[in-house]
């Protein structure tokens, strides 16, 4: 009989906690394939004078990032990333994208020889030199294959077991199906496709569009305006993929949960939308609103807008992506939010 897979989750924010609930129940359910215990690396912090890891391990609840949701008892919170990942054969990365590099560097040399990873991160490594997917970054640093999972998955709703779908993009179907067993439940339905590039591009770029949708809400524009922003955003997402990743992004991927569906849910119920709306209503800086409104959770869309802009400026192509460009200029250059319907 093949050895049981040892699962480690890297991250314990809002989505990291919701996904820990699913993974913990699935490893217990599929005891022929997975070791029941799931180690979760938790960035240690104090909550009411107690370590967050101690709270999770005794109360089985992440009281800071997913309050009110019971976590399975087989999920064990560990503050030391090396202890959390030592000997792991399946690694689930679910941290805000700005933190991934430092974490991967510490994990080097500590995984099982056959380890495979999956990235749930919604963001892109974009610099003026080029773009890199986080699955590629993780593969490069740790020398292991890495798939991606992304979908219309607002964490709080998934944690309450409200039905939704999600997409796994992989290079090896064999690995994709192992991960499907780790994530799939009757209320979290997984499709596996061989387009790990498209899955991640959608997950990152839809956050920029959601910031634009939030501006529209803050200005009091209605559903038609938001629908236009969503449609134009989808077109720019596809154009970005076709222009910079060519045939490796499949058009059908935009019709999966990771594509149009995630764009719609994020533009209606996500944190990027919420903070962008408050930006218009209050005039406060984004960083201040992130602190005031999100209780330690992190925005991804404004950072991605900045990274995408740097990449497009280096190629003199900002005019070809008017929505991405306008979102950037509103957040970072003091351009009036009304321009969201003028310049796109």
Ligand X SMILES: O=C(CO)COP(=O)(O)O
Q: Determine phi and psi for 305, rounding to 5 degrees.
A: -60, -40
Distance CA 217, CA 204 (A): 21
Nearer to ligand NAI, 64 or 180 (CB): 64
By CB under 6 A, name the one of 9, 115, 121, 144 that touches ligand NAI.
Answer: 121
* Cα distance between residue 205 and residue 210, in whole Å: 9
Q: What is the DSSP letter of 255?
A: G
Q: Is 153 annotated as a binding residue?
A: no
- Per CB under 6 A, 155 contacts ligand NAI: yes
User: Site for ligand X (CB under 6 A): which residue of 116, 180, 271, 329?
Assistant: 271
Q: Which residue of the set 206, 226, 239, 274 is catalytic?
A: 206
Q: Which residue is nearest to ligand NAI (CB)?
A: 13
Contact yes or no for 113/102 (Cβ under 8 A): no
**Which segments of 52-190 does DSSP mark as H helices, in order?**
52-59, 81-85, 100-107, 134-142, 155-159, 173-183
- Tell me whether residue 83 is one of the annotated catalytic residues: no
The residue (of 27 and 167) whose beta carbon lies closer to ligand X is 167
C-beta closer to ligand NAI: residue 95 or 170? 95
Scored b (16 or more CB within 10 A) or e, 119-139 reads: bbbbbbbbeeeebebbbbbbb
> Does the protein bind ligand X through residue 272 (CB under 6 A)?
yes
Listed residue (150, 158, 144) closest to 202, CA to CA: 150
- Of the candidates 113, 104, 112, the one whose C-alpha atom is nearest the C-alpha of residue 139 is 104
User: Does 211 interact with ligand NAI (rule: CB under 6 A)?
Assistant: no
Per rule CB under 6 A, is residue 297 in the interface with ligand NAI? yes
297 is in an annotated binding site: no
- HSE at residue 174, side-chain half, CA atoms within 13 A, is 2
- Binding partner of residue 259 among ligand NAI, ligand X, none, CB cut-off 5 to 8 Å per kind: none
Question: How far is it, in rounded angstroms, from Cα 294 to Cα 155?
Answer: 13
Q: Is 150 annotated as a binding residue?
A: no
Is 14 annotated in a binding site? The answer is yes
**Which of the listed partners (ligand NAI, ligand X, none) does 120 bind, with a CB threshold of 5 to 8 Å by partner kind?**
ligand NAI
Residues 118-157 that bind ligand X (CB under 6 A): 122, 152-154
| Distance of closest approach, residue 129 Cβ to ligand X, in angstroms | 26
Write the DSSP symbol of residue 190. E
Q: Is 325 annotated as a binding residue?
A: no
Tell whether residue 10 is a contact of ligand X (CB under 6 A). Answer: no
Residue 270 binds ligand X, judged by CB under 6 A: yes
Residue list for the binding site for NAD(+): 11-16, 43, 99, 155, 271, 298, 300
- Residues that bind ligand NAI in the complex, under the rule CB under 6 A: 11-16, 43, 65, 94-97, 99, 120-123, 153-155, 296-298, 300
């Amino acid at each position: 009989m093949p050895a049981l897979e040892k699962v480690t989750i890297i991250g314990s924010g809002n989505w990291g906690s919701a996904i820990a609930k699913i993974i913990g129940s699935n490893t217990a359910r599929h005891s022929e394939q997975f070791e029941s215990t799931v180690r979760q690396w938790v960035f240690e912090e104090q909550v009411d004078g107690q370590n967050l890891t101690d709270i999770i391990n005794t109360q089985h609840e992440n009281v800071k990032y997913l309050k009110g949701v019971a976590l399975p008892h087989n999920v064990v919170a560990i503050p030391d990333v090396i202890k959390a990942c030592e000997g792991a054969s399946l690694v689930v990365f679910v941290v805000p994208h700005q933190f991934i590099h430092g974490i991967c560097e510490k994990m080097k040399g500590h995984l099982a020889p056959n380890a495979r990873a999956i990235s749930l991160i919604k963001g892109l490594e974009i610099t003026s030199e080029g773009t890199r997917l986080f699955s590629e970054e993780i593969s490069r640093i740790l020398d292991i294959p890495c798939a991606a999972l992304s979908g219309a998955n607002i964490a709080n709703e998934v944690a309450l077991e409200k039905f939704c779908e999600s997409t796994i993009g992989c290079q090896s179907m064999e690995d994709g199906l192992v991960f499907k067993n780790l994530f799939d439940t009757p209320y979290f339905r997984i499709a596996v496709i061989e387009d790990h590039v498209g899955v991640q591009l959608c997950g990152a770029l839809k956050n920029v569009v959601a910031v634009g949708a939030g501006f529209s809400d803050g200005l009091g524009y209605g559903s038609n305006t938001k629908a236009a922003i969503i449609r134009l955003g989808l077109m720019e997402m596809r154009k970005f993929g076709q222009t910079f990743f060519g045939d490796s992004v499949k058009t059908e991927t935009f019709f999966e949960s990771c594509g149009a569906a995630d764009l719609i849910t994020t533009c209606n119920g996500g944190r990027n939308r919420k903070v962008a709306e408050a930006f218009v209503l209050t005039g406060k800086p984004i960083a201040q609103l992130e602190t005031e409104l999100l209780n330690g959770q992190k925005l991804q869309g404004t950072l991605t807008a900045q990274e995408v802009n740097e990449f497009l400026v280096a190629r003199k192509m900002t005019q070809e992506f008017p929505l991405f460009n306008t979102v950037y200029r509103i957040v970072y250059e003091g351009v009036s939010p009304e321009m969201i319907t003028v310049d796109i």
